[in-house]
Amino acid sequence: MTEPEDAAQLDDDELLNEVSSAIPVVRRRISLSTPALMLGMFALPTSWFTPWVAPLALVAVVLAVIALVRRHADRSMAWWGFGLGIAALVGCSVWAVWILGQLGETPVLAVPGLL
């Protein structure tokens, strides 16, 4: 069998195979450091007023850890997202301890001998 001289002699399947192999596939990697930083920036000031933002702070911390594990992420933004998320979780836990104390529950941070 002879090789076709131009694309007009190729059938449709062969033409698609020829075209698809010539185009390189470029995979774009998504950096998770930016969403981690944005969630941390939102969660920290919000945690000063309400403890209900704790899930967002936790998501910020998880995204920052994933971004730090990956090699192509912006590490400084991931560290800032991690720090802000941890600070927001601390703020939310302070609120949760205060709310439980106001409800008459046993204090979470009770030190024996002080009560």
pLDDT digits (tens, 9 = 90+) for 31-68: 889 999 999 999 999 999 988 999 999 999 999 999 99
Q: Between 79 and 25, whose confidence is greater?
A: 79
The string of DSSP letters for 72-100 reads SS-HHHHHHHHHHHHHHHHHHHHHHHHHH
Q: Are residues 79 and 49 in the same domain?
A: no
Beta strands in 3-114 (DSSP E): none
Average pLDDT, the chain: 79
The reported pTM is 0.66
Residue 6 within any structural domain of the chain: no
Q: Are residues 92 and 61 in the same domain?
A: no
- pLDDT given at position 60: 96
Number of domains in the chain: 2
Over 70: is that where the pLDDT of 79 sits? yes
- pLDDT given at position 39: 95
Q: Are residues 53 and 86 in the same domain?
A: no
- pLDDT given at position 4: 53
